[in-house]
Chain A
Amino acid sequence: MQTTIQTSEPSNQVTARLLGFWRTFRKNRGGIVGLWMLVFIILVAIFAPLIAPYDESSSAQTSISDIYQPPSANHWFGTDDAGQDVFSNFIYGARVSLTVGFFAAFISIVIGGLFGLVAGFFGGRWETFLMRFTDIMLVIPDLPLMVVIVALTKPSLLNIIFVIGLLGWTTTARVVRSQTLAVKSRKFVLRARAIGAGKGHIVSRHILPLVMPILVVQAVLVISLAILNESALSFIGLGDPTTLSWGQMLNYAFGRGAMSTGAWWALVVPGFGIVWVVLSLTLLGQGLEQVLNPRLDTHHLMPAKPTVRKEAGEQPAGKGSLLDVQNLSIDYVTEGKARAHAVENVSFTLKEGELLGLVGESGCGKTTLMLALLKLLPAAGQIVNGRVYFKGQDLTELGEDELNKVRWSGVSIVFQGAMNALNPVRTVGDQIEEAIIKHLPDFPKANLSARVTELLDLVGIAADHKDHFPHQYSGGMRQRAMIAMALACNPQVIIADEPTTALDVMIQAQILELLDSLRKKLGLAIVFVTHDLGVVAEMCDKVLVMYGGVTAEYAGVDVIYNDPRHPYTQELLKAFPDLTKPKKKLSSIPGYPPRLDALPSGCRFAPRCPAAFDRCKTEQPALHRVGANGHIASCHLIEASK
């Protein structure tokens, strides 16, 4: 494989990129199988004279008795209508079919690539003209047009190559254009243009290298289509009569009595060649596509990983608490990668009407924790320890059907960034009604519409927006509609996962006020996930500070603000402005939270902690009780001060 990699420019960068590409591609089983299948048939075509037992035109010596001989030691795959060896013709046929495929695809790729590049790069009139032309050619059915042109001209191999090539560029032009457009607006291209680089330079140095991979994938597909088209043309009787492609072999066999003589070999073998090549190209194309646009290949309906527990015999649910989370740990398990400990040993409780603030930087496991409460983790997520009691019932033990009864009617979620959290092709009112119908089957149908209007009114959305689609809502409206939907089945607990990020300050304030008033009015318990310590101070009863998947500190809101014991909490507070101390100096915490698949061996905050000492780097601190009232923090300093 070394040769394919090093044929390109001598530049180290290019080689490195190709090597990286190869390393990823190598893991794609289908792609590799396709590549070897293709290499094999190409070798067969190149070395045809060495492999084929008979000459290309061995029919000169044949007699009537040689026609349609079944497979034998002399003729492995029998003989055809002219008494020729099917196996030898099959080997030589590979040459014709591959030649047509490669040359025709080359023409298509050059034209399509050029059109796409010009249209995408220059835009304006060029783009309009070229793309309109492409659209027209795209709708005109290929094969009939090829048939017409080849029928009107001489059916020679050259003509066939040109006709297939000249009609096969449309999809390539489209794909290359959109890729060029995407690349053109990238920063380094804009920068190159800003410093006055020539157009030729930009295209050849910046755009072409990024369009090239797509062009290669496209080429693989175009080759397979060209081979299929050639075989169809030959079968219809428009092949070059002087060469014997696989399609031509089938044309002769089918047209000259192979069917009635039962000579299956003459019909099966050539078609097998076409399938081999097309399948190899398809697999190869899919493999390359996978490398270029990796897909995660997971979705929300994949079965959840079974809950496991390290330690048995946990405490029963705490009395009087609505939600009691005990020692919850969650891993992400991906094939071929180390387990990522996303959440470890997190506990908290929530009483009726209480508001818990969950704070921490992005990537600290907050969302994972929230999703795990209702077992909504992505397919890779697994609860590896702990329990989630809701009204005394352990949710981690429940199956999907039982969970579906608790979801939304007991605990509902206001998702982060409600932009995509609502189904774009159903009206907002419809989606709210759906929740009511699901969980309150006795709810009178006649009152549904009124109830939805009431819910929307509660969050300040006018009734006439009920039948609108999400895209007709503004960002703030969508977020509020989401809250209305979360309230639809009168849940006892609402989890609000950063409901105000990406919204402007005025709307943020409105939404927060709304949640707070609902809590007071309806006695809701709320878990509020946020970055905003100001909001926490204003609204929350309790605060859980998470860092790197573990509890840093957990206490009542006053304790957190007045007596923070974990250095992370202290640093977070320093990073927030305080209206009562206007002269306070703001500072930020240098560095980033740890990656979950590369956690430090000691305390997870140690690399960024201003107070870290030797022990912090080697030993993970346990959760320590600080005084009464359930104040908890995980820091070696607390033990030291005891």
Chain B
Amino acid sequence: MDTPPMNRSRALLQKIAWSIFTILFVIILNFFLFRVLPGDPARAGIRDPRLKKEAVEILRIRFGLDKPVINCFESLNPIKVGSCDVNPLDTQFFIYIRNLLQGELGFSYHTNRPVTEILSERLWNTVLLIGAGQILAILIGVALGVFAAWKARTSLDYAAVMVSLLAWSLPTFWLGIILLFWGSANGFPLAGKATPGMSSMPLLQQWGDILWHMFLPTLTYTIVYMGEYTLIMRSSLMDVLSEDYILTAKAKGLSMFQILKDHALKNAMLPLVTVIAINLGFTVAGAIQIEAVFSWPGLGSAIVEAVGRRDFPMLQGAFLLIAVAVILANMLADLTYTYLDPRVKME
């Protein structure tokens, strides 16, 4: 017989170490993507034709683009990529890493403000939107999935499955557009997070205003992600309900409700935790589209705006922040699973 606590803490450590490794990978990827892909980011970003060559040069220095990309690390690098005659500490890569460690992501080409500052304002708006949307989608999806499994092979089940498949097939941004179109005719706010001038109002009213603005984006989010959760919950619960131990529970004289509550739901929820974790990446994709449609001031619209303005430091910073957030959230979901399932014994 084994001792699960030790196994479990080892599994946890493994997962944490692996997530850190993935984050390092993303940090390096993020650096090279913006240096290796075609197009001098400075020229692309600062492409005002009125700028003189000297002015561009000054801007290049300001954004650190005059420095060599990376030291060639002569001993490790037989093909001599990079500049070998520079101080490794004076390369863009080293400065990038050093700045990252200090929480600096450079300056926005567009507003000249520190990227970190802009992103930290916007991060919480995205977290708010995704949080509210996910919670609603999970609650409704689980409820609908349980209902469909319980009524399996009836027309109610069939309808629930069809609705879910349809919801799953909707392009997020398009559903947003349709709801916005509908909302604009029904007095819903069309854009943003708050009515201008609201900041002078009492706090409660401010929050009410934000909720009012959140309604349509959150609704879009909920509909798009609800379908998948319904389908997964249904099939997961169907699997669990056909297990032998459910027959045991039935033979024990437990009521339908007791069996669902005490024997089926927890077991059926376990796969859902994994799916929620895997879905976090898609979740962000949805947020980007929804924020773009509703001009919700979050990370997603930051990305879209940065693309439109060729604001590469913003794009780079936003991508890094999103990727790291997803990796961390994924790790958390993984850890939750390990904690929930007593059977987990890692290899």
Please report A residues at the B interface, Cβ cutoff 8 Å: 30, 135-136, 138-145, 147-149, 151-154, 224, 228-229, 231-232, 235-238, 247, 250, 254, 259, 264, 267-268, 270-271, 274-275, 278-279, 282-283, 286, 295-302, 374, 376, 400-401, 403-409, 412-413, 415, 417, 419-426, 434-435, 438-439, 469, 471-472, 482, 485
B207 at interface by CB-CB < 8 Å: no
Chain B nearest CB, measured from A289 CB (Å):
10
Residues of A within 8 A of B259 (CB): 301
B174 at interface by CB-CB < 8 Å: yes
Contact across chains for A267 and B181 when beta carbons are under 8 A apart: yes
19 extra interchain contacts, Cβ-Cβ under 8 A, other than A148-B316, A376-B251, A472-B1?
A: A30-B165, A138-B278, A139-B22, A141-B285, A147-B303, A229-B285, A232-B172, A237-B308, A259-B180, A270-B174, A274-B174, A278-B170, A279-B169, A283-B165, A301-B259, A301-B260, A408-B253, A422-B245, A423-B267
B177 at interface by CB-CB < 8 Å: yes
Contact across chains for A434 and B342 when beta carbons are under 8 A apart: no
Question: What residue in chain A is nearest B270 (Cβ atoms)?
Answer: A425
B322 at interface by CB-CB < 8 Å: yes
Chain B nearest CB, measured from A602 CB (Å):
35
| Complex CA distance for A257 and B184, rounded to whole angstroms | 13
Proximity string of chain B (238-250) to chain A, C-beta cutoff 8 Å, 1 when within and 0 when not: 1001111111111
Contact across chains for A151 and B307 when beta carbons are under 8 A apart: yes
Question: What residue in chain B is nearest A420 (Cβ atoms)?
Answer: B244
Query: Counting chain A CB atoms within 10 Å of each CB, which of B29, B171, B284 scores highest?
Result: B171
Residues of A within 8 A of B181 (CB): 259, 264, 267
Please provide the chain B residues from 155 to 199 with a CB less than 8 Å away from any CB of chain A in the complex: 165-166, 168-174, 177-178, 180-181, 184
Q: Which stretch in B51-59, B109-117, B287-295 binds the other chain? A: B287-295
| Complex CA distance for A237 and B263, rounded to whole angstroms | 49
Contact across chains for B242 and A144 when beta carbons are under 8 A apart: no
Contact across chains for A425 and B288 when beta carbons are under 8 A apart: no
Please provide the chain B residues from 218 to 257 with a CB less than 8 Å away from any CB of chain A in the complex: 235, 238, 241-256
Question: Which of A139, A149, A283 lies in contact with B281, CB distance below 8 A?
Answer: A139
Minimum-distance CB pairs A-B, first 6: A299-B241, A143-B285, A271-B174, A407-B253, A141-B281, A420-B244
Query: Counting chain B CB atoms within 10 Å of each CB, which of A149, A298, A300, A424 scores highest?
Result: A300
Contact across chains for A153 and B38 when beta carbons are under 8 A apart: yes
Whether A421 touches B315, Cβ cut-off 8 Å, given contacts A144-B323, A301-B241, is: no
Chain B nearest CB, measured from A287 CB (Å):
11
| Complex CA distance for A302 and B250, rounded to whole angstroms | 11
Residues of B within 8 A of A268 (CB): 178
Contact across chains for A282 and B165 when beta carbons are under 8 A apart: yes
Question: Which of B173, B242, B244, B326 lies in contact with A298, CB distance below 8 A?
Answer: B242
Q: 16 interchain pairs (CB within 8 A)?
A: A30-B165, A138-B281, A140-B29, A141-B280, A144-B322, A144-B323, A148-B34, A149-B33, A232-B288, A274-B171, A275-B166, A295-B235, A301-B259, A407-B251, A424-B245, A469-B343
Proximity string of chain B (303-347) to chain A, C-beta cutoff 8 Å, 1 when within and 0 when not: 110111010100110110011001100100000000001110000
Residues of B within 8 A of A419 (CB): 244
Question: What residue in chain A is nearest B345 (Cβ atoms)?
Answer: A471
Contact across chains for A415 and B1 when beta carbons are under 8 A apart: no
Residues of B within 8 A of A275 (CB): 166, 169-171, 174
Contact across chains for A231 and B171 when beta carbons are under 8 A apart: yes
Residues of A within 8 A of B241 (CB): 299-301
Contact across chains for A415 and B315 when beta carbons are under 8 A apart: no
B50 at interface by CB-CB < 8 Å: no
Contact across chains for B245 and A423 when beta carbons are under 8 A apart: yes
Question: What residue in chain B is nearest A468 (Cβ atoms)?
Answer: B1
Contact across chains for B169 and A278 when beta carbons are under 8 A apart: yes
Contact across chains for A236 and B307 when beta carbons are under 8 A apart: yes
B78 at interface by CB-CB < 8 Å: no
Chain A nearest CB, measured from B172 CB (Å):
7
Contact across chains for B284 and A141 when beta carbons are under 8 A apart: yes
Please report B residues at the A interface, Cβ cutoff 8 Å: 1-2, 18, 21-22, 25-26, 29, 33-34, 37-39, 41, 149-150, 152-153, 165-166, 168-174, 177-178, 180-181, 184, 235, 238, 241-256, 258-260, 262-263, 266-267, 270, 278, 280-282, 284-285, 288-289, 292-293, 303-304, 306-308, 310, 312, 315-316, 318-319, 322-323, 326-327, 330, 341-343
| Complex CA distance for A270 and B260, rounded to whole angstroms | 43
Contact across chains for A400 and B251 when beta carbons are under 8 A apart: no
Contact across chains for A144 and B285 when beta carbons are under 8 A apart: yes
Contact across chains for A405 and B253 when beta carbons are under 8 A apart: yes
Question: What residue in chain A is nearest B307 (Cβ atoms)?
Answer: A151
Question: Which of B33, B149, B173, B266 lies in contact with A148, CB distance below 8 A?
Answer: B33
Residues of B within 8 A of A247 (CB): 171
| Complex CA distance for A152 and B316, rounded to whole angstroms | 11
Chain A nearest CB, measured from B21 CB (Å):
8
Residues of B within 8 A of A278 (CB): 169-171
Contact across chains for A420 and B152 when beta carbons are under 8 A apart: no
Chain B nearest CB, measured from A281 CB (Å):
8
Contact across chains for A152 and B173 when beta carbons are under 8 A apart: no
Residues of A within 8 A of B166 (CB): 275, 279
Whether A299 touches B152, Cβ cut-off 8 Å, given contacts A151-B307, A424-B343, A469-B343, is: yes
Contact across chains for B238 and A295 when beta carbons are under 8 A apart: yes
| Complex CA distance for A405 and B29, rounded to whole angstroms | 64
| Complex CA distance for A21 and B229, rounded to whole angstroms | 29
Contact across chains for A425 and B342 when beta carbons are under 8 A apart: yes
Whether A420 touches B245, Cβ cut-off 8 Å, given contacts A144-B285, A144-B303, is: yes
Whether A425 touches B266, Cβ cut-off 8 Å, given contacts A141-B322, A300-B250, A438-B252, is: yes
Chain A nearest CB, measured from B315 CB (Å):
6
Question: What residue in chain B is nearest A225 (Cβ atoms)?
Answer: B282
| Complex CA distance for A296 and B152, rounded to whole angstroms | 11
Residues of B within 8 A of A152 (CB): 33-34, 37-39, 41, 312
Residues of A within 8 A of B244 (CB): 415, 417, 419-421
| Complex CA distance for A295 and B166, rounded to whole angstroms | 22
Contact across chains for A421 and B252 when beta carbons are under 8 A apart: no
Question: What residue in chain B is nearest A412 (Cβ atoms)?
Answer: B251
Residues of B within 8 A of A426 (CB): 262-263
Contact across chains for B178 and A267 when beta carbons are under 8 A apart: yes
Contact across chains for B253 and A254 when beta carbons are under 8 A apart: no
Residues of B within 8 A of A412 (CB): 251-252
| Complex CA distance for A236 and B176, rounded to whole angstroms | 13
| Complex CA distance for A259 and B181, rounded to whole angstroms | 7
Residues of B within 8 A of A236 (CB): 288-289, 292, 303-304, 307
Residues of B within 8 A of A153 (CB): 37-39
Contact across chains for B173 and A232 when beta carbons are under 8 A apart: yes
Residues of B within 8 A of A421 (CB): 244-245, 247-248
Residues of A within 8 A of B247 (CB): 300, 376, 415, 421
| Complex CA distance for A154 and B310, rounded to whole angstroms | 12
Contact across chains for A279 and B152 when beta carbons are under 8 A apart: no
Contact across chains for B246 and A301 when beta carbons are under 8 A apart: yes
Residues of B within 8 A of A231 (CB): 171, 173-174
| Complex CA distance for A153 and B44, rounded to whole angstroms | 11
Residues of B within 8 A of A224 (CB): 169
Chain A nearest CB, measured from B126 CB (Å):
12
Residues of B within 8 A of A469 (CB): 342-343
Whether A424 touches B267, Cβ cut-off 8 Å, given contacts A152-B39, A264-B181, A407-B251, is: yes
Query: Counting chain B CB atoms within 10 Å of each CB, which of A153, A374, A408 scores highest?
Result: A408
Contact across chains for A235 and B319 when beta carbons are under 8 A apart: no
Question: What residue in chain A is nearest B185 (Cβ atoms)?
Answer: A262
Residues of A within 8 A of B254 (CB): 404, 434, 438
Question: What residue in chain A is nearest B306 (Cβ atoms)?
Answer: A151
Residues of B within 8 A of A259 (CB): 177, 180-181, 184
Contact across chains for B288 and A143 when beta carbons are under 8 A apart: yes
